[in-house]
Structure 1
Amino acid sequence: MTRASATLALVVTALLWSVGGVFIKSVEWNPLAIAGTRSGIAALFMLAVLGRPRIRPSWPLLGAALSTSLTLLLFVCATRLTTAANAVVLQYLAPLWVAILAPRFLGEPTRGRDWLCLALALAGMTLFFWGDISPDGKLGIILALASSLTFAGIPLFLRKLGDQGGQTEAVLLGNALLALGCLPFCFQGPWPDLKGVGALLTLGVVQTGLAYYLYTRAIRHVRALPAMIIPVIEPILNPVWVFLFLGEAPSATALAGMAVVLGAATVQGLLAVKDRGR
């Protein structure tokens, strides 16, 4: 995979991640049951794609697996305990942690142009969700902040695996761990109907399984920071799908924020293609 195709894979990953909101709303079930079932289906999908995965235990692999599990779990809990806007904006502080940690953890420099793209992305994200950000739900805010750290851990640990491989296996393991941890919640309350089952299959196979498979393929060919900044378009695409399917139009402020985020992600993507300092 070239850097150009890896950058494109990150864009497609963000597109796949972004449909989560629409499909999650289609499932009438315990949120932890949804998270666990989605991850279980995703793990089975990746297992089918890999055939016979070779999981070689190492601390970067375990770090990536735990980061994946905790990110998926913390975000669901944060969304339940504070506003969705709070959860999204705070989770996407992850690129900031990557920018700070990557030079020491991976030896990947954070350049001036990276800081500029990062500042634009965070500013655009804040502008996009400005009207929905709230101080309500302190515990949810704390969990969302925690999820930003675990989210940052995914590209950092996956990059740390380097040429020894195992990136997809690490994410498979993380999803499997979450599925096992959430299994008891699947037996609380009524099970979802056929529409919900279809949504869960889409969430598991497409929004999580295929998306993370592409992400783990791409991460070997781009630095950790671009692998965080380019997918930052994911949360601003959620309202686009809501508009297309439900007719809820975003505000002018949200559209301005969307333009800034898209611009920052585009610039970072172009720089990633030309980047020589892997």
Structure 2
Amino acid sequence: MAFLSGNRNLLGIASLCAGILIISTQDAIIKAVSGDYAVTQAVATRSIVALPILLFFVHLNGGIRQLFSPRYWVLIFRGVILLIAYTSYYLAFPALPLAEAIVLFFTAPFLVTFLAAPILGERVELKAIIALFVGFAGVLVILKPGFGFFEPAALFSLLAAITYALAMLFARKLGVTEPASVMAFYQNWVYLVGAGLMALVFHLGGITTSDHPSLAFLVRPWSWPDPLSFAMMAACGAIAAIAMVLITQAYRLADASLVTVFEYTGMIWAPLWGFLFFAEVPAATTLLGMLLILVAGLIVLVRPSRRVEAT
């Protein structure tokens, strides 16, 4: 049993790291289109593209009939929580530097670890708590949050962190009976419907402009995108579909308090994309922060072997 549990945790960690790597490319895309298009349009476009991909994953993972789950209302509720999480996360991008928007969102793993005990009844090891402190210290070293940290838009990132943490704990509970592909399909469907409804409400209410860049990104009317912008938003659909399944699968397989520290690997990719696409050279503090994140991961991953008693 210990061997099987260990394998599940390792598979969960690998799945999460892969999902975070894939989803990290989406942040730069969303920030690039945030000045010209509405967040609801970007979410709806990516959801439409992701829909057939997720249906294919459901088909491979047991068949379409699994979508008719008796726990559909819980799946929908989790989707609503994630819609709030990702919409809030994206709304911080126009008003904050990408790095400062990300640092607040990366309090989510910290929240998952401490909420896992009262909500899931998981035993949180001391080394996991230490690793989270080390990992979060690494995030702070990389980002060096300054006065911009108190920009009101930072509250969007904080809201995103709280709601994302809750959604991942839901994934852990739902994972007993629901495949990752089914959970990902439901959340994608909620994204599509929710984004369309928000856009319709703003349109009917005549709310189309705002002086604040985050709110402007939220209420801006939809417009026909140029080919490059459409391709970028559509690419987010494929990116999101694959990443959603991987991340959801991670929380199905592994203890939430264990796997969540590997969310910090997202901070490795942010400076890399900055260097490749925007010619940004990582500072010495960035390299130090990356080292701290690596140490945090190793603290959790390396465990003493335990003797399995015969039964």
Compared with structure 1, are the counterparts of its residues 159 and 273 closer, same or farther at alpha carbon in structure 2 (3 Å cutoff)? farther
Cα pair 1:91 1:148 within 8 Å, conserved: yes
Counterpart of 2:164 (choices 151, 174, 185) is: 151
Compared with structure 1, are the counterparts of its residues 56 and 272 closer, same or farther at alpha carbon in structure 2 (3 Å cutoff)? farther
| 1:87 Cα deviation after fit | 2.2
The C-alpha deviation readout for 1:122-153, integer Å capped at 9, x for no partner, is 10001110056624422x12222111111101
The C-alpha deviation readout for 1:1-47, integer Å capped at 9, x for no partner, is 74333321111111101111333345452233213322332333212
| 1:74 Cα deviation after fit | 0.9
Letter in 2 for 1:149: I
Within 5 Å, give how 1:99-178 maps onto structure 2.
99-130=113-144, 134-138=148-152, 140-178=153-191
Compared with structure 1, are the counterparts of its residues 155 and 131 closer, same or farther at alpha carbon in structure 2 (3 Å cutoff)? closer
Q: Distance in 2 between matches of 1:167 and 1:194?
A: 32
Partner of 1:15: 21
The C-alpha deviation readout for 1:138-184, integer Å capped at 9, x for no partner, is 2x122221111111012200111142124432332222222222233
Partner of 2:58: 50
Stretches of structure 1 that go unaligned for 5 or more consecutive residues are: none
Within 5 Å, give how 1:189-268 maps onto structure 2.
190-206=223-239, 208-268=240-300
Partner of 2:195: 182
Cα pair 1:68 1:175 within 8 Å, conserved: no
Cα pair 1:98 1:152 within 8 Å, conserved: yes
Cα pair 1:83 1:133 within 8 Å, conserved: no
Partner of 1:90: 104
Q: Distance in 2 between matches of 1:226 and 1:87?
A: 24
Compared with structure 1, are the counterparts of its residues 227 and 60 closer, same or farther at alpha carbon in structure 2 (3 Å cutoff)? farther
Number of residues paired by the alignment? 273
- More displaced, 107-116 or 222-231? 222-231
Letter in 2 for 1:10: L
Letter in 2 for 1:202: A
Q: Percent identity?
A: 24
Cα pair 2:100 2:145 within 8 Å, conserved: no
Q: Distance in 2 between matches of 1:79 and 1:236?
A: 19
Q: Distance in 2 between matches of 1:146 and 1:31?
A: 16
Larger radius of gyration: 2
The C-alpha deviation readout for 1:181-204, integer Å capped at 9, x for no partner, is 223379925422222222223211
Counterpart of 2:49 (choices 41, 50, 62) is: 41
Cα pair 2:83 2:194 within 8 Å, conserved: no
Compared with structure 1, are the counterparts of its residues 268 and 43 closer, same or farther at alpha carbon in structure 2 (3 Å cutoff)? farther
| 1:271 Cα deviation after fit | 4.8
Stretches of structure 2 that go unaligned for 5 or more consecutive residues are: 1-6, 201-218
Letter in 2 for 1:232: Y
